[in-house]
Structure 1
Amino acid sequence: MTESALQGQFESIAGWLFESQSAIAFTGAGISTESGIPDFRSPGGVWSKNRTVYFDEFLNSEADRYEYWRQKSQTHVEFEAASPNSAHRVLVEWETEGKLSAVVTQNIDGLHVEAGSQNVLELHGTAREIGCLSCEKRWPADPWVQRFLKEDRVPSCPDCSGLLKHATVSFGQALPEEVLQRSIELASNADLCFACGSSLVVHPAAGIPEVTKRNGGRLIIINRTETPLDHLADVIIREPLGSTLSQIQQFYMDRC
């Protein structure tokens, strides 16, 4: 695609955003790679170097709980070092201007919240917190990770001795029903959906942008690679997210 054609797409999207009454953003790992967090599926990513610890394994095996904590402690270092990038910040601006009703994210890194987004629906939870599976109390993750690294053993809940786990959804664990249903409701009512940095293959989360399209809204997919929903998209952009959203924002501001 020529530069002029790409700029034309940005201008068209900015026009749709300007007219929108209820846009949402659906984000995946690709929005955080520019913050230095590797895509889990990419070569060298977590999933290429470690085996998956399923939820039932975590519940039933002390050795698997240790492996889970070992892996999570590795990714914790990356999350703690990362900061929101320009893509995160543009979404905050759109929310502040009343154009974006919510960010629905597959990410567990917490960067949307750190950037300042107020209405963030974390479908897969957050790695910024540790939760007890018994009493459901939560704490900031960093002290617990540091304790694990120092003591080299899996901690237990100080209140009820229950199992402690990052407040994220593991393989084999159900998504939080309230968060999923709220996300579907927002997608149903949205007139514009930005699907940003997601391969759109992990269900049920990946079906949320399709809900917007099926209910008459526009779908914009910004992702480096093809997705199963490309045939539904009004516009597909294969450019970096930070610069793409920033340029759309510039065209949008020119209209204001």
Structure 2
Amino acid sequence: MSVNYAAGLSPYANKGVCGLPEVFDSPEEVRAKVETLAQLIKESQYMVVHSGAGISTSVGIPDFRGPKGVWTLEEKGELPHFDTTFEDARPSLTHMALLGLQRAGYVKYLISQNVDGLHVRSGFPRDILSELHGNMFVEQCEKCGRQYVREKVIGVMGLKPTGRYCDVVRSRGLRACRGKLISTILDWEDSLPVRDLNKADEASRRADLALTLGTSLQIKPSGDLPLLTKRNGGKVVIVNLQPTKHDKHAHICIHSYVDEVMKQLMELLGLDIPKWEGPTVCESSTPTSEHSNDHKVINKAFNKVCHVAAPLLKALFITICPRSHSYRSRL
């Protein structure tokens, strides 16, 4: 639960501005803005999405700076309310819509500040996903860098050892790596994962459209990444109920529930929202196994036909051209 995640962090004074009032656009305004967003997406060559805690509130995981967020209630001396655990939480409509947009070729890269693991559990490809603050279900070998996605929450935070060891076999005849596995969850003063941050930075600079969903964009450097798109001539679209620090840089600001925006967006794009069928981990965005297997089957069948047909064709060739049979057959 996000409250347990928050409780596991070290004390920290500067948690950003909490409890800002929410703003709601009229249904007509939302529709008009989503129509504009849909057109921008159709015209985009490289869209990057930035997601925050606001995309998980509809499935019972509290955000941090909303009116009922963890940090907001903490400032008031109140305890947050939660409706689910990380293990039991199901991806929201927004999580699944993003998967649909990725499969349709619209989302090229996803940058998330969330630790709930719902992007990974939804089936979103991990090779085009940067989880800048870690994942409650992922532990990593501090020696070789191999990551393990678990079914249960790791239970350790702050990049600390989990008590398990890496089982990657380095080469034939050598024992497994046996490096210590550590959590991927950052504490306040921990540095962001270099590989994820570099990929997020590169994607943000390359993007011609940055779509931010459910994030106040307050935490650096994650919150400033959409500005890289803006500085390189791209557009920024912000979907959030509260004002963000970068609203003035946005081409459009949509003040509505993220799930409602994504539902309308998928309808306008003529796309179905994939159904969630349980936790699914997808490592690569490149179609490999199914298509590769098809090619293997076709090649195998072709070779078999050639093997059977070659003697018959050779005999036919000798019959028709008896003086040419001394030449080596190419079949």
Q: TM-score range by the shorter chain?
A: 0.7 to 0.9
Q: 1:141 to 1:249 in 2, by over 3 A?
A: closer
CA distance, structure 1, for counterparts of residue 64 and residue 183 of structure 2: 17
**1:167 Cα deviation after fit:** 1.5
CA distance, structure 1, for counterparts of residue 51 and residue 153 of structure 2: 28
Which residue of structure 2 aligns with residue 103 of structure 1? 110
Counterpart of 1:84 in structure 2: which amino acid? P
CA distance, structure 1, for counterparts of residue 151 and residue 71 of structure 2: 19
Which residue of structure 1 aligns with residue 134 of structure 2? 125
Of 60, 63, 66, which residue of structure 2 is paired with 1:36? 60
Q: 1:133-189, CA deviations, whole angstroms, 9 ceiling, x for partnerless residues?
A: 5786755373754xx9xxxxx963468999875311111110011211111111111
CA distance, structure 2, for counterparts of residue 197 and residue 3 of structure 1: 18
Q: 1:106-157, CA deviations, whole angstroms, 9 ceiling, x for partnerless residues?
A: 0111111111211211111111124465786755373754xx9xxxxx9634
SS at match of 2:210: strand
Give the conservation status (yes or no) of the 8 Å contact 1:25–1:196: yes
Q: 1:63-122, CA deviations, whole angstroms, 9 ceiling, x for partnerless residues?
A: xxxxxxxxxxxx9x7211111011111111111111110110001111111112112111
Which residue of structure 2 aligns with residue 228 of structure 1? 245
Of 16, 24, 38, which residue of structure 1 is paired with 2:48? 24
Structure 2 residue 243 is matched with structure 1 residue 218: no
Give the conservation status (yes or no) of the 8 Å contact 1:223–1:239: yes
Percent of aligned pairs with the same residue? Answer: 30
Q: 1:47 to 1:78 in 2, by over 3 A?
A: farther
Moved more, 209-218 or 37-46: 37-46
CA distance, structure 1, for counterparts of residue 204 and residue 196 of structure 2: 12
Which residue of structure 2 aligns with residue 238 of structure 1? 255
Greater per-residue helix proportion: 1
SS at match of 1:78: coil
Moved more, 164-173 or 108-117: 164-173
Which residue of structure 1 aligns with residue 152 of structure 2? 142
Structure 2 residue 259 is matched with structure 1 residue 249: no
SS at match of 1:127: coil
Show structure 1 runs of 5+ residues with no match: 51-74, 149-153
Which residue of structure 2 aligns with residue 54 of structure 1? none
**Matches of residues 162-201 of structure 1 in structure 2 within 5 Å?**
165-201=182-218
Root mean square deviation, CA, Å: 2.9
Show structure 2 runs of 5+ residues with no match: 1-24, 76-81, 167-176, 272-331
CA distance, structure 2, for counterparts of residue 13 and residue 239 of structure 1: 14
Of 35, 38, 57, which residue of structure 2 is paired with 1:14? 38
Moved more, 158-167 or 107-116: 158-167
**1:253 Cα deviation after fit:** 1.9
Normalization by structure 2: what TM-score? 0.60
Which residue of structure 1 aligns with residue 285 of structure 2? none
Give the conservation status (yes or no) of the 8 Å contact 1:130–1:141: no
SS at match of 1:173: coil
Counterpart of 1:125 in structure 2: which amino acid? G
Which residue of structure 1 aligns with residue 15 of structure 2? none
Of 22, 45, 68, which residue of structure 1 is paired with 2:70? 45
Counterpart of 1:190 in structure 2: which amino acid? A
Counterpart of 2:114 in structure 1: which amino acid? N
Counterpart of 1:113 in structure 2: which amino acid? V
Normalization by structure 1: what TM-score? 0.76
